[in-house]
Structure 1
Amino acid sequence: MSKVYVLDTNVLLQDPKSIFSFEDNDVVIPAVVLEEVDSKKRYMDEIGKNARYISKLIDELRNKGRLHEKIPLPNGGTIRIELNHRSFHDLQEIFIEKTNDNRILAVAKNLTDEENGKDRGKPVILVSKDTLVRVKADAIGVLTEDFLSDRVVDSNQIYTGFSEYYITTEQLTSFYEKNYIKISEISQQTFFPRQFIVMKDVLGSSSSALGIVDDKGENIQKLIFNQEHVWGIRSRNVQQTMALELLLRNDIPLVTLIGKAGTGKTLLALAAGLMQTEDLQQFNKLVVARPIVPMGKDIGYLPGEKEEKLRPWMQPIYDNLEYLFNTKKPGELDAILAGMGSIEVEALTYIRGRSIPDHFIIIDEAQNLTKHEVKTILTRVGERSKIVLMGDPEQIDHPYLDAYNNGLTYIVERFKEQKVSGHVRLIKGERSNLAQLAADIL
């Protein structure tokens, strides 16, 4: 049986091509949704871009027929703009205010009542990424769903970058003697290139080994780097050792790091970048950037020049640099950075559109990037550059992103089979016992 899907505004703003995702069913866009989309067209960010795109797309569909009637879609379904189901009569005692969300709910409710009155009425489903809209819809008897086709993974199964495997004592000994072991000798399982394998003794002894799958996916090799320290930073757990391996290797130009606050993502990436830029001279510059997702007023309301405007947003980066440079006095770090000239701390607003060769690039808080934004950034990376994307998918400030459809998760899942990339999820917090406890229970 075909269905009727009523789309909320946030679905269109998250994925402007979502109208083609409902197969041969009927898609209904309430008129109030068009009003909300129109109010976003002037935004100069991803939301504004998507609002302009969906506006043009609906205008093109207008050439195929009258929008208040059913217009056929390429997938066999139909789409229409709903103008006649905005009556608030049935909901006025429940939801007093005529907000846009409640007007969308009224459309879905009235369509549901209309279909229920038919002999062979269709199920009406409200599709929204707003949790409270779905809760209110359920309360008034309207079927509701989240929009899931934009998700990279269906559940909490984001690639971790490592796995544990039990092997015999003889195989562990062979690995240490040869510095590698063939995957076919220990398992019929397929591992991804650059995936870390923690090998443990099947008999339960304390013997273990850490290896990384080669670019062909045939052997598990011993780690190349076993640094005592990188710019004074030592790895404190096995995942940090994995991260440093990826950050220091020249044959892995794309590194993704995921972890909660305090797991050391930013500090490790900065230490590795400084070592390769300043000490080893492998890169011309170290560029550190993060997206600006305002939680109040936007950056333009802050006083001062660009550097003064950026400072509050980039302060977490400066905090880590102060630790690495062991600065004590106010202004000392700024003097050091000015004297070096090879470190740039920027907002992503200022690096998009650039071509960046011979750079070590760190993108912090990448979970707040959309798929399109992260694609734009990666396609700007020039020859002999290395880029590190890191963040916590569980800590997202973007209004239309979640742990499963953000740009960082997208890159992790799309590149996990590619030999040019490496990934690791950092698990243990090393900032302090209090910080780790807070990350776990709050």
Structure 2
Amino acid sequence: MVRFDKKATRLYVLDTNVLIHDPTALYHFDEHDVVIPMTVLEELDKHKNGIREIARTARQIIRALSDLTNQVDFQEIQQGILIPKLSGETGRLRFLCYQDLKPLDNMEDSPDNRILAETCRLREERPDASVVLVTKDINLRVKAAALKVPVEDYLNDRVFSDSDTMIEGAKVYVPVGLDAKGLWGSLNVEVKVERLENHTFYQLSGIMPHDWHVGMLVSDGENGAEFEAIVRELGPSSARLELLTNYRHHTGVWGVHAHDSRQNFTFNLLMDPEIDLVTIAGNAGTGKTFMTLAAAFQQTLDFKQFERIVFTRVPVPMGEDIGFLPGTEEEKMSPWMGAFHDNMDNLLRNDDGESSWDNDATRSLIGSRVQIRSPGFMRGRTLNDTFLIIDEAQNFTPKQLKSLVTRAGRNTKIVCLGNVGQIDTPYLTANTCGMAAVVERFRDWPHAGHITLTSVERSRLALAAEELL
């Protein structure tokens, strides 16, 4: 990359391959303006047809641009469309359309050369700004440098974390330093405690924190918390909190115990009959599937609250597809259910480390209450008395997840598990996946709860991989 001086005002001209590489690239240039040449729009139009990944990505980009242009008039498009962001300064989206564009001397007419010509024309029109071409094409970067056009590689693509796109579902007041106030020191409220039918409630009166919402965890520590509660009711000047059950030591769920506040809150959401929809996010190895299966088996086999457990996930490969699979629906889904079998093997281990999951009698008993289903065959069904587990929910579109959640009938609990950092569906992003949509839409519904787990339980190698890769 050629070094050059940048002015305060910058215009970043994006090549087609940048948008194909990262469909959210528009939002990664801070307060600077993003420019899309007409040549790029024409190339996207050529790529949009088909079922390959590049076609799906092109259609996603076109839809995103359409959403931005649908909200403004022609004058605003000419002046630049404000790029929406959650926080910080925002730039504008501009389109380059030259009807009298002259090709560069001694260069053939090609998309790359037209983008170079459009960038050079824009530099002449905007001497007050740094006009920078951004492309993943190495040869185009070399040609731009030869023509003394400022050029950069696109290096802003990064792995999204769950907290980038979704609420965490928890507010942990950890005292740090000598002047730290902690939970009760941070709240300017009056507290009234009442006990009803083995449940303890805290009625708060005063100014409520703006980042609280119904169904969230409020705790005074991550590991050794003395106060852990769920927000049951919330208003501008009042809130009603219910103390959580402690699943850390003697009281476990199917032999599984919580290690910190977030895991304890997860078990409370999973075991609470008042919560119909639970969404659990977190990096790989945080125990999402393990804890959910433990709660499902305790409520189905021990407490008889549900008649069956249905486990489903979208059959999307991480790499190349292995082709069609023979057998019944469950046999076809078996390769995608490695996480289910691994967790069952761990859940059924005794004190000597031996697992009974390979025992035919055990498999027959549990198999009679567990159904492994493909989401493609769930439409039209009504699931009564069912504990439905939707694994890898980040790979579903919002419409697909809606079709699954609306299967819920009488006495049915639905649990969505996912991590937006592991999206394998080509045309979905962390902001557009079904998991993020469900968390946002059900945020204030009193019968839904969400939590983002942070402690990796798998191994120190898994923890290091999440942090370093």
Question: Within 2, Cα distance between the matches of 1:333 and 1:83?
Answer: 73
Corresponding residue for 1:183?
Answer: 204
| Local SS of the residue matching 2:241 | strand
Question: Within 2, Cα distance between the matches of 1:348 and 1:367?
Answer: 14
| Local SS of the residue matching 2:220 | strand
Q: Which one is further off, 343-352 or 303-312?
A: 303-312
Corresponding residue for 1:38?
Answer: 49
Q: Give, as a single letter, the amino acid of the residue that structure 2 aligns with 1:108.
A: I
How far did residue 91 of structure 1 move? 8.6
Contact 2:170 2:217 in 1 (8 A): yes
Corresponding residue for 2:274?
Answer: 251
Listed one character per residue, the Cα deviations across residues 94-137 of structure 1 (whole Å, up to 9, x for unaligned) are xxxx9xxxx7655533333344456999999999xxx9479977
Question: Within 2, Cα distance between the matches of 1:426 and 1:207?
Answer: 16
Listed one character per residue, the Cα deviations across residues 43-95 of structure 1 (whole Å, up to 9, x for unaligned) are 7x99769959979x99xxxxxxxxxxxx9997435999999989899999xxx
Listed one character per residue, the Cα deviations across residues 331-379 of structure 1 (whole Å, up to 9, x for unaligned) are 5369625764221123333335544333211111112223333333323
Q: Give, as a single letter, the amino acid of the residue that structure 2 aligns with 1:359.
A: T
How far did residue 416 of structure 1 move? 1.9
Q: Which one is further off, 188-197 or 229-238?
A: 188-197
- Do the aligned partners of residues 328 and 182 (structure 1) sit closer, same or farther apart at CA in structure 2, a change above 3 Å counting? closer
What percent identity do the matched residue pairs reach?
A: 27
- Do the aligned partners of residues 116 and 198 (structure 1) sit closer, same or farther apart at CA in structure 2, a change above 3 Å counting? same
Listed one character per residue, the Cα deviations across residues 186-227 of structure 1 (whole Å, up to 9, x for unaligned) are 855562001111136xxxxx8731111114452121125758
Q: Tell whether 2:190 aligns with 1:167.
A: no
- Do the aligned partners of residues 207 and 432 (structure 1) sit closer, same or farther apart at CA in structure 2, a change above 3 Å counting? closer
Q: Give, as a single letter, the amino acid of the residue that structure 1 aligns with 2:289.
A: T
User: In the TM superposition, what are the counterparts of 1:13-92 in structure 2 within 5 Å?
Assistant: 28=38, 30-40=41-51, 75-76=73-74, 77=77
Corresponding residue for 2:386?
Answer: 359
Question: Within 1, Cα distance between the matches of 2:209 and 2:442?
Answer: 22
How far did residue 160 of structure 1 move? 1.1
Corresponding residue for 1:222?
Answer: 243
1:319 to 339, 342, 350: 342
Question: Within 1, Cα distance between the matches of 2:194 and 2:122?
Answer: 69
Q: TM-score, normalised by structure 2?
A: 0.66
Q: Tell whether 2:227 aligns with 1:209.
A: yes
Q: Give, as a single letter, the amino acid of the residue that structure 2 aligns with 1:247.
A: L
1:266 to 286, 289, 313: 289
Q: Give, as a single letter, the amino acid of the residue that structure 2 aligns with 1:198.
A: S
- Do the aligned partners of residues 438 and 332 (structure 1) sit closer, same or farther apart at CA in structure 2, a change above 3 Å counting? same
Structure 1: gaps of 5 or more residues: 19-24, 59-70, 93-97, 201-205
- Do the aligned partners of residues 83 and 353 (structure 1) sit closer, same or farther apart at CA in structure 2, a change above 3 Å counting? farther
Corresponding residue for 2:120?
Answer: 113
Listed one character per residue, the Cα deviations across residues 201-258 of structure 1 (whole Å, up to 9, x for unaligned) are xxxxx87311111144521211257581211211122211000111111211111111
Question: Within 1, Cα distance between the matches of 2:165 and 2:407?
Answer: 29
Q: Tell whether 2:441 aligns with 1:414.
A: yes
Q: Give, as a single letter, the amino acid of the residue that structure 2 aligns with 1:33.
A: L
Q: Tell whether 2:254 aligns with 1:231.
A: yes
Question: Within 1, Cα distance between the matches of 2:265 and 2:139?
Answer: 42
| Local SS of the residue matching 1:108 | helix
| Local SS of the residue matching 1:372 | helix
- Do the aligned partners of residues 333 and 317 (structure 1) sit closer, same or farther apart at CA in structure 2, a change above 3 Å counting? farther
Q: Tell whether 2:372 aligns with 1:372.
A: no
Question: Within 1, Cα distance between the matches of 2:293 and 2:169?
Answer: 21
Listed one character per residue, the Cα deviations across residues 23-46 of structure 1 (whole Å, up to 9, x for unaligned) are xx9984643323321223xx7x99
Question: Within 2, Cα distance between the matches of 1:153 and 1:197?
Answer: 22
Q: How many residues align?
A: 398
Question: Within 2, Cα distance between the matches of 1:342 and 1:389?
Answer: 20
Contact 1:285 1:343 in 2 (8 A): yes
- Do the aligned partners of residues 118 and 13 (structure 1) sit closer, same or farther apart at CA in structure 2, a change above 3 Å counting? closer
User: In the TM superposition, what are the counterparts of 1:337-356 in structure 2 within 5 Å?
Assistant: 337=364, 340-352=367-379, 354-356=381-383
Structure 2: gaps of 5 or more residues: 1-10, 27-34, 79-94, 174-182
- Do the aligned partners of residues 406 and 53 (structure 1) sit closer, same or farther apart at CA in structure 2, a change above 3 Å counting? closer
2:214 to 167, 184, 193: 193
Q: Give, as a single letter, the amino acid of the residue that structure 2 aligns with 1:250.
A: P
Corresponding residue for 2:85?
Answer: none
Corresponding residue for 1:61?
Answer: none
Contact 2:245 2:268 in 1 (8 A): yes
Corresponding residue for 1:404?
Answer: 431
| Local SS of the residue matching 2:172 | strand
Corresponding residue for 1:67?
Answer: none
Q: TM-score, normalised by structure 1?
A: 0.69
Q: Give, as a single letter, the amino acid of the residue that structure 2 aligns with 1:390.
A: L
| Local SS of the residue matching 2:205 | helix
